[in-house]
Structure 1
Amino acid sequence: MIRVLLVDDQQLVRSGFALILGVEEDIAVVGEAANGRDAVALARHLRPDVVLMDVQMPVMDGIAATREIVSTDAAKVLILTTFDRDDYVFAGLAAGASGFLLKNSDPSHLVDGVRTVAEGHALLAPEVTRRVIEQLTRSSPTRRTPDDHPTGRTAPQRDPRLEALTPRELEVLALVGRGLSNREIAAELYVGEATVKTHLSNVFAKLHIRDRVQAVVVAFETGLVTRVRESGPS
């Protein structure tokens, strides 16, 4: 059973989410909070699997609450966001959120999102992924130097975080950074999805990162995505 804590300052919104999730046999709403401070307290007390978190709330906003909940491993957090507030997305990433859902998502997407995050995966909608990539592209300096190999294989020598990755794991990380799904990565590399999942698990373990969202950030911070985009994967 997936235990969910609902956090939103509007009772009507919480009731709607509770109604949608409550009909699922594998999901149980165990609590509700109207602000971030109460959410932190309830998360520590109830230890839910997933906190469905609004952003704009009184007393303490959803970003600050997410940071406190994640820092104590009280629960995974799924943030509700909208297209026109990119700042929430990036602040949520920094706070440790496991995923983002659009407030106008279909009920089925809400249910699938809760299950995805509960299973330990990151949830980043394609629209949100594109915005993250665009922002990282604008904000991250290009790290390529004249002596870089055209395939980007010099990345491990220039960034200690990538030293332990195999060439294939570097390719997988780069493709994750470009926003590709496991299925798309499998097609790009001519391997099975199970193989992609294995490579991703290795990448997460070696880089000490929690999920796909953090992998996107690392791919840009190390310059790996920029180089692959310029020369194409080998």
Structure 2
Amino acid sequence: MIRLAIIDDHAIVRAGFREMLSDELGLHIAFEAGNAEEAQTMLREHSCDVLLLDISLPDLSGIDLLRSIKQRNNTQVLIISSFSEERYALPMIRNGASGYLCKDCNRDDLINAIHTVAKGHRYISPKTAELLANEMTGNIDKPAHELLSERELQVFLRLAKGESVSVIAETLHLSVKTVSTYRTRVLEKLTVSSNAELATYAHQHGLLGN
């Protein structure tokens, strides 16, 4: 029996996945959560084999929660996002996700992905496989934000949402000086000069969620 968890801040989305999976033998939904804090609490109280995780959460970014989960247990994380694979599939897989699916996927693809990652394998869709192949051969023009390091991306997204350097430092358990250094690097790599321009860039590239 595969113990499944669904993490999404929209109740209607969770209900949709629950209904889609209700008749599937060998699957049991262990718990649901609408934000990262609730998810972390539930993970401490319930065993889970596969976690369906949305990127956009109200209290913590999906990438932050993904890193936290992978540091603490062996739960396989399958990203379920409204963002296209071109935007986030490769960064999320690099950060420990076992697979990436868009929310408009069909039931068969979702079931296949769940069973694949539950076995400890990665689920790579044809589109993600193409992205990986293009990356390996250098046959791809990456947007500037895809060249950011993991930590630079975290700081960038938080700055774009309007968080201050001090708040980011406290949340990520870093010094203010370190976060300021990351901010400087991000500004240089994205060729912008202010937090306002960072926010504009993020919105233009659809990086801040719905």
1:7 paired with 2:12, answer no
Partner of 1:120: 120
The 2-side partners of 1:82 and 1:58 are apart by: 15
Q: Which residues in structure 2 correspond to 1:177-216 (within 5 Å)? A: none
Q: What is the CA distance between 1:24 and its match in structure 2?
A: 1.3
Q: What is the CA distance between 1:18 and its match in structure 2?
A: 0.7
Q: What is the CA distance between 1:86 and its match in structure 2?
A: 2.8
Contact 1:44 1:74 in 2 (8 A): no
2:36 alignment partner AA: G
Say which SS state the counterpart of residue 38 (structure 2) adopts: helix
Partner of 2:109: 109
The 2-side partners of 1:93 and 1:139 are apart by: 19
Q: What is the CA distance between 1:133 and its match in structure 2?
A: 2.6
Say which SS state the counterpart of residue 58 (structure 2) adopts: coil
1:4 alignment partner AA: L
Contact 2:51 2:77 in 1 (8 A): yes
1:11 alignment partner AA: A
Q: Which residues in structure 2 correspond to 1:159-178 (within 5 Å)? A: none
Contact 2:93 2:100 in 1 (8 A): no
Question: Normalization by structure 1: what TM-score?
Answer: 0.55
The 1-side partners of 2:37 and 2:85 are apart by: 22
Contact 2:117 2:123 in 1 (8 A): yes
Partner of 1:138: 138
Structure 1's 44 and 135: CA in aligned 2 closer, same or farther, altered over 3 A? farther
Structure 1's 113 and 85: CA in aligned 2 closer, same or farther, altered over 3 A? closer
Partner of 1:91: 91
Say which SS state the counterpart of residue 56 (structure 1) adopts: coil
The 1-side partners of 2:69 and 2:62 are apart by: 10
- Highest Rg: 1 or 2? 1
Structure 1's 73 and 34: CA in aligned 2 closer, same or farther, altered over 3 A? same
Structure 1's 138 and 106: CA in aligned 2 closer, same or farther, altered over 3 A? same
Contact 2:76 2:98 in 1 (8 A): yes
Contact 2:85 2:128 in 1 (8 A): no
Partner of 2:35: 35
Partner of 1:53: 53
Deviations 1:161-217 (A, max 9, x none): xxxxxxxxxxxxxxxxxxxxxxxxxxxxxxxxxxxxxxxxxxxxxxxxxxxxxxxxx
Partner of 1:26: 26
Q: What is the CA distance between 1:77 and its match in structure 2?
A: 0.3
Aligned length: 140
Contact 1:64 1:95 in 2 (8 A): no
Contact 1:36 1:64 in 2 (8 A): no
Structure 1 runs of 4+ off > 6 angstroms? none
Contact 2:78 2:117 in 1 (8 A): yes
Q: What is the CA distance between 1:36 and its match in structure 2?
A: 2.3
Contact 1:47 1:74 in 2 (8 A): no
Structure 1's 12 and 82: CA in aligned 2 closer, same or farther, altered over 3 A? closer
Specify every segment of 5 or more residues in structure 2 that has no aligned partner in the other structure, as ranges: 141-210
Partner of 1:81: 81
Q: What is the CA distance between 1:12 and its match in structure 2?
A: 0.4
State the superposition RMSD in angstroms: 2.0
Specify every segment of 5 or more residues in structure 1 that has no aligned partner in the other structure, as ranges: 141-234
Partner of 1:176: none
